[in-house]
Structure 1
Amino acid sequence: MNTILIKDAALVNEGRIFHADVFIKNGFIEKIAPSIDVRADIEINALGLHLLPGMIDDQVHFREPGLTHKADIFSESMAAVAGGITSFMEMPNTVPNTLTQELLSDKYAIASEVSLANYSFFMGASNNNLDEVLKTDPKNVCGIKVFMGSSTGNMLVDNEKVLEDLFKEAPMLIATHCEDEQTIRSNMALYKEKYGDQITIEMHPLIRSTEACYRSSSMAVGLAKKYNTRLHILHISTAKEISLFDNQLPLKEKRITAEACIHHLWFDDRDYAAKGNWIKWNPAVKTEADKNAILKAVLDGHIDVIATDHAPHTIEEKEQPYLLAPSGGPLVQHALSVLLEMYHQQKISLEQIVEKTAHHVADCFNIDKRGYIREGYWADLVLVNLHDPVKVIKPNILYKCGWSPFEGQTFESEITHTIVSGNLAYQKGKFMTNKTGQRLQFNR
């Protein structure tokens, strides 16, 4: 199956919505026109559907290797494809941590065999692996990940000299998790002194506080400005941090960019009472005012991209008391559905969704020939029916962990087809697993 013809779709691309046919051949978009009359191996009648560039998720944790009881690259890439995500960038805090070029290559080898979506993997930094980090090839690795806050294993980078050297010498984009560890430890000590083991989830955003986020983010921005580092700060969770970012420069001229995540755009601290540990994330979901400010920053250009920070844990782990329950939750299957729901709520336009989940991610990471519906580009495409409601229930949750923070939610839109590198990977509940996604390449 080397050719696909999509007929009568409403394309959402580069700030416009217009009707056209799209012809795909050997993985690439060959032609976009009002009407295309050719024979194809697969023809899709897209009348009444919207065609979007596939989401490029720049932050996921797919847990392989080492934590595959929670998730693995096959299971989570399948959930991602069903959710309209055609490419992902995966984090290095697996077991073992991805701190050597050999371990990084091992993850690429696994993905080449099983991933239904296109893929890239971050190289991890620690306090003692700078030599390995500097070997990373900017043309075929998405970036270097620095945890400037708590993380799994040996990945908290809190040595000031190491941070200086990383920001000074990094040959490519550095992505950071920014929460000040000392602030969090001090807050936790105060809450334990007051409440002992009876600390509850409502205290999570007070322990992992606004100040912890701002101190760390401002430090990262300061280092990036000092060394002209290409810095990308992940999962902004506070209104205070937004002032660190520029919305005047075009994205392609920015050296410092920022990401917002689905959960910080949808939930706020009022939801802890009902959702409990199911919405326990680091950084924490904070106030309604923070949530509203983050959305405003997405729309006005202070925040450049939207991602998921998909980080599944088992039901048993999440059902533990607050102090024992891990942070993180599964999101890739429902991220686009959430954004389309926000479109129905008139909070964001379809054009802005596409800009923040595809165009800007491709530009931010300099991804080669992806993120747009353009002739000559890879065919990474998603068809959605904006008026076919779907309720999230246990039987239709695809995550290996078997749960979703959106369980019980009805979304107004359905993702009907997902095309990955020219392969029809998903169609109305069915997967085509005969082809895997491609390794992302970068124009750097």
Structure 2
Amino acid sequence: MGKIVLKNGTIVNEGIVQESDILIVDDVISKIAKDISDADAEVIDVSGMHILPGVIDDQVHFREPGLTHKGTIATESRAALAGGITTFMEQPNTTPQTTTIEKLEEKFATASNSAFANYSFLFGGTNDNLEELKRLDKNACSGIKLFLGSSTGNMLVDDEKVIENIFSNTEMVISAHCEDETTIRENLAKYKSQYGDDIPVELHPIIRSEEACYLSSSRAIALAKKTGARLHVFHLSTGKETDLFRNDIPLEQKKITAEVCIHHLWFTDADYANKGTLIKWNPAVKTATDREMLWNALLDDRIDVIATDHAPHLLEEKNNVYTKAPSGGPLVQHALNAMLEKVKDGTITLEKMVQKMCHNPAILFQIEKRGYIREGYYADLVVADLNNPWTVTKENIAYKCKWSPFEDTTFSSKVIHTFINGHLGYSKGQFSEKRNAKRLTFNRP
């Protein structure tokens, strides 16, 4: 690929903001210094712009195989590049589900021919695949995914003995969707008897309630403490849950960690009136107080990672009545923009945002040579202009489903360039047709 010099950028990395140049040689960062000069290098002037590490998204649903009318690894990973996400970890609730080593490797084979961003997958735990899980090499993929509450794909794991056996039989990170199924079913039955299928969507956070979330996450955490398992709780949505997590030890030493998603940091239950089922997620978007408490936990390091839970559905599917409208929405193209908006209004610093979206996922999943701007690391880089307003419209949405919960939102910042292993995969609204993605590797002793 040759050499590229990024000139005059403002690098944000490891808590430091500094002006510097970056020399990329082939797929790695070769040198970080001021006034780099190389006669053989292509020079890209990024004066006035910020250079961030490529974002690592630890939770996406790209819908391949089996649900490719909603999205594919190719379409959604390309959209991710437009949003500065250079690495994704895809979930197992596809059709067929990723619950055998054979199906896992089939996904890797598909991604090797179609992904535009670096990739790995989570292996799905079920009520009956413990022996297959035991055979899984700890460096084979991102980790294990358990649905302790039902969601798209019906992979609910509800056998308590099975859950304990899984917790006791893997060294890998166990990422869990935590909602108590009994509570949800009782709540749903109550409102279905009152409204039929056309339940007001404003009742979604009452049906998939704070109690449902807390019961499940607290139970999972207690089991992780009992078994010594490495537990990562996906998409916290309630303030109450945040007190279950620690901030008094470094991330590298934590056995129990937490993630929050963009939609739970941005929307509240007041937004159902305008957005309807477009913001129907599992777990549900809840109150303004919950959102404030999630932000507080993110900022004081009880919550470790920001992710998207990108989950595209067709617009006609989302526009169904409550019980038939699927939960989830597309977010990878706009997540970084949304967070940069929170940087602009002073909610979070740029350095802290980079920590939560880039550094911490790399630490948590022990990813090799990614998540930082360091010499010798892969050149996964995002160049963003923090003063370049633009509005989300159907015409500039890259998702296959062609809608976004952020439609008509004006963001102050814009992703200008995204480098993937040293290759300019996205630049000024245009995508490269060349794929330069790599399968993630891990450093798990």
**Range class of TM-score, shorter chain:** over 0.9
Shift of 1:194: 2.7
**Residue equivalent to 2:411:** 411
Find the aligned partners of 1:2 and 1:220 in 2 and give their Cα distance: 49
**Residue equivalent to 2:435:** 435
Shift of 1:42: 2.8
Find the aligned partners of 2:143 and 2:316 in 1 and give their Cα distance: 33
Answer with 127-136 or 152-161: which moved more.
152-161
Structure 2 unaligned spans of 5+: none
Shift of 1:423: 1.1
Deviations 1:14-73 (A, max 9, x none): 001000000011211110001111134432101000000011000000000000000000
Shift of 1:197: 3.1
Q: Tell me the secondary structure at the aligned position of residue 197 of structure 1.
A: coil
Answer with 195-204 or 100-109: which moved more.
195-204
**Residue equivalent to 1:74:** 74
Find the aligned partners of 2:403 and 2:152 in 1 and give their Cα distance: 22
Deviations 1:107-150 (A, max 9, x none): 10111111110000000111000111122222231000000000
Find the aligned partners of 1:372 and 1:417 in 2 and give their Cα distance: 17
Answer with 302-311 or 188-197: which moved more.
188-197
Find the aligned partners of 1:199 and 1:328 in 2 and give their Cα distance: 17
Q: Is the 8 A contact 1:113 1:436 kept in 2?
A: no
Find the aligned partners of 1:50 and 1:40 in 2 and give their Cα distance: 24
**Residue equivalent to 1:31:** 31
**Residue equivalent to 1:174:** 174
**Residue equivalent to 2:382:** 382
RMSD of aligned C-alpha atoms? Answer: 0.9
Shift of 1:434: 1.6
Pair 1:392–1:25, CA change in 2 (3 A):
same
Q: Is the 8 A contact 1:305 1:357 kept in 2?
A: yes
Pair 1:410–1:318, CA change in 2 (3 A):
same
Shift of 1:154: 5.0
Deviations 1:60-118 (A, max 9, x none): 00000000000000000000000000000000000011111111001101111111100
Find the aligned partners of 1:146 and 1:40 in 2 and give their Cα distance: 50
Find the aligned partners of 1:198 and 1:233 in 2 and give their Cα distance: 31
**Percentage of pairs with the same residue:** 57
Q: Is the 8 A contact 2:77 2:115 kept in 1?
A: yes
Find the aligned partners of 2:212 and 2:128 in 1 and give their Cα distance: 24
Find the aligned partners of 1:72 and 1:217 in 2 and give their Cα distance: 31
Structure 1 runs of 4+ aligned residues shifted over 4 Å read none
TM normalised by structure 2 equals 0.99
Answer with 37-46 or 224-233: which moved more.
37-46
Find the aligned partners of 2:48 and 2:251 in 1 and give their Cα distance: 33
**Residue equivalent to 1:292:** 292
Q: Which amino acid aligns with 1:353?
A: M
Find the aligned partners of 2:432 and 2:308 in 1 and give their Cα distance: 24
Find the aligned partners of 2:198 and 2:331 in 1 and give their Cα distance: 29
Taking the TM superposition and a 5 Å limit, the aligned residue runs for 1:103-122 are 103-122=103-122
Deviations 1:296-319 (A, max 9, x none): 111000000000000000011011
Q: Is the 8 A contact 1:114 1:436 kept in 2?
A: no
Shift of 1:345: 1.0
Q: Is the 8 A contact 1:134 1:171 kept in 2?
A: no
Shift of 1:190: 1.3
> Is 1:11 aligned with 2:25?
no
Deviations 1:403-425 (A, max 9, x none): 00000000000100000111111
Q: Is the 8 A contact 2:151 2:282 kept in 1?
A: no
Find the aligned partners of 1:42 and 1:311 in 2 and give their Cα distance: 37
Structure 1 unaligned spans of 5+: none
**Residue equivalent to 1:21:** 21
Deviations 1:196-228 (A, max 9, x none): 334110000000000000000001101110111
Find the aligned partners of 1:360 and 1:40 in 2 and give their Cα distance: 35
